[in-house]
Structure 1
Amino acid sequence: MTSTADEVKIAPRLTEVAYRQLLDMILSGQLEAGSVVQERKLAKALDVSRTPLRDALFRLEGEGLLIRRGEGALQVKTVTLEDYSHALRVRVTLEREAARLAAGHVPANVLAPLRARIVQLVKAAEAAGGELPGRDDLDAVDELLHEAIAEGSGNPLMADLIRQVRQRSRLFGLERRPGRIREICAEHLEIIDALAAGKGDEACTAMERHLGRVIEDLKQRVFDPRG
C-alpha cells in the first residue's frame, strides 16, 4: 500500500511527466493552435489522474502556451507573426548575453560532437548533390546548441527564460527557407568556435548576427515571399 509520503513524492513526478508530454503535443502540433483543451480526454490519453494533469496545464498556462477563454476553458495559444517577431527580439537580448557568459564554460565534450554533426550535415548535403538535410536533423542540433549555451551561461533564471521564449517561437511553425540552411550551419559553427575558444565578445557578436539574420529572413519572407 502506498503511504502518504510516497504519494507526495510521486505527484510532482507525474506532473512533470504530464507537462513534458503536453509540451511535446503542443510543439508538434498534435494539440493544434486554437484547440480547446479537453481534460478528461487528455487524462485518458496520458494515463494520468486529473490532479497532475491540471497542475501541468496550469504550468503551461503560466508559460503562455495555453490561454484561458472567457468561459474558463483552456485553449492552445495561436502564435501570430507579431508574437513570433517579439519572441525573436527577446531572444537576441537574452541569448547574446548567454553566449558571452557561456564562452569557455561549455564542455568540449558537448561542443565537439555538435560541431561534428553540423559538419556532417553539410558534407551529406554536398554528397547528395546539394540536397539539403532534413529539418529534424537541423532542429535537433539547433536545440542542443542553444540549450548548451543557456546552461553554460551559469544563470539559471536566464536559462529558463531562454527556454520559454524559444518554446514560444517554435509554436509559430515557420518553415526554414531552403537557401538559409547552409548559412545557419555556418553561423552555428561560428558560435561554437567562439565558445570553444572562450572568446565571450565574439560569441556574443556571432549569436547576435545569427538571430539578426533570422529576423531579416522573417522580414523578407513576409514582405517578399517569393525570395
Structure 2
Amino acid sequence: MSGQTESLEGEGSLAERAYDALSRLVLTRKLPGGSLVVEGRLAEQLEISRTPIREAILRLAAEGLLIKQGSRSYAVRRVQAVEFFQALKVRELIEGEAVELAIGRVPQPLLQAMRDEVVALGREEVQNEAHWEMDDRLHLLFPEALNNGVMVRIIRELRRATRLFELTSPSGRVARDAAEHLAILDAVLEGSVRRARAAMVTHLRNVAAEMLDVMSGRDAAAPKRRSRS
C-alpha cells in the first residue's frame, strides 16, 4: 500500500512540475501564440513522461491558455488587441479596488522587501523571468492580502490575457514599470488610499496608451520587449 501511495504522490508531483514548466513556457512567450503544443516534444524537452504532460495540457486548456486545435492537438491561445485593451480596462476597476482595500493589511516588511526588489530589477535594461515573476507577485499581492479568492482568480485570468498579447512593449517600459510600481508601493507604505488607487490606475492606463503608440507606429524604434503588466 505504501509503495502505491508513493507512486501516486510521484505522479502528482510530476504533473505539477509539468504544469509549472509548461505554463512558464507559455507566459514567458517561449511558446508564442498559435504554437502547437506537441506532447512528445515537450516530454523530451522537460524530461517528464507523457502522462503528466498530458495532464498539464488539459489543465492549461481548462484555464484558457491553450485551445483545441483539431481533434487531438492543442495550441497556445492568441489574444487580439481588443481583448488586451478590454482586459486592462477591467483590471483598472478591480485592481484599483484591491489596492485601496488592502491598505493596512499588507505587512510593512513585505512591502519594503518588494520595493527593494523593484528598485534592483529596474536597473536592468532587458526583461527576464525575474521581472515576470516579480510583476505577478506585486499585482496579486493586494487581492491576496484581502483573502478574496474570487478576486485573485479574476485578476490572474485577466493578467494572462494581457500577458499573451503578442505585440512588443514600447521602449523604456522596463524603467517606467519600475517607477510606476514604486509609486504604488510607496502609496501603500504611506497608507494613502487615494494615491494608491490612482497609482495603480495610472500604471495600467500608461501600459494601454503606450501599446497604442506602438500599434500606431509612434514607437517604431522600440526594442523587442513584451509588456509584463
> Is 1:205 matched up with 2:198?
yes
> Is 1:159 matched up with 2:152?
yes
The residue that corresponds to 2:223 in the other structure is: none
Deviations 1:4-36 (A, max 9, x none): 222333333221110010011112333232122
The residue that corresponds to 1:129 in the other structure is: none
Residue 67 of structure 1 aligns to which amino acid in structure 2? Answer: I
TM-score, length-scaled by structure 1: 0.82
TM-score, length-scaled by structure 2: 0.81
Q: CA deviation at 1:198?
A: 3.1
Distance 1:45 1:114 in 2: 33
Q: CA deviation at 1:207?
A: 0.9
Please say if residues 169 and 211 of structure 2, whose CA atoms lie closer than 8 Å, have aligned partners that are also in contact: no
Residue 67 of structure 2 aligns to which amino acid in structure 1? Answer: I
Secondary structure at the aligned position of 2:17 is classed as: helix
Secondary structure at the aligned position of 2:37 is classed as: coil
Please say if residues 111 and 196 of structure 1, whose CA atoms lie closer than 8 Å, have aligned partners that are also in contact: yes
Residue 73 of structure 1 aligns to which amino acid in structure 2? Answer: S
The residue that corresponds to 1:220 in the other structure is: 213
Tell me, which stretches of 5 or more residues in structure 1 are unaligned?
125-131
Residue 127 of structure 2 aligns to which amino acid in structure 1? Answer: R
Please say if residues 104 and 199 of structure 1, whose CA atoms lie closer than 8 Å, have aligned partners that are also in contact: no
Residue 134 of structure 1 aligns to which amino acid in structure 2? Answer: V
Distance 2:84 2:3 in 1: 46
Q: What is the correspondence of 1:49-198 to structure 2 with a 5 Å cutoff?
A: 49-120=49-120, 124=123, 133-136=125-128, 138-198=131-191
Q: What is the correspondence of 1:28-47 to structure 2 with a 5 Å cutoff?
A: 28-47=28-47
Secondary structure at the aligned position of 1:67 is classed as: strand
Q: CA deviation at 1:221?
A: 2.4
The residue that corresponds to 1:3 in the other structure is: 3
Closer/same/farther in 2, CA of residues 71 and 172 from structure 1, 3 Å limit: same
Q: CA deviation at 1:77?
A: 1.3
RMSD between aligned residues = 2.6
Closer/same/farther in 2, CA of residues 139 and 51 from structure 1, 3 Å limit: closer
Distance 1:121 1:200 in 2: 26
Closer/same/farther in 2, CA of residues 91 and 12 from structure 1, 3 Å limit: farther
Q: CA deviation at 1:226?
A: 4.2
Secondary structure at the aligned position of 2:40 is classed as: helix
Q: CA deviation at 1:76?
A: 1.3
Q: Quick check: 2-11 or 158-167, which moved more?
A: 2-11
Please say if residues 114 and 145 of structure 1, whose CA atoms lie closer than 8 Å, have aligned partners that are also in contact: yes
Distance 1:78 1:35 in 2: 9
Percent identity, please: 35
Closer/same/farther in 2, CA of residues 226 and 175 from structure 1, 3 Å limit: closer
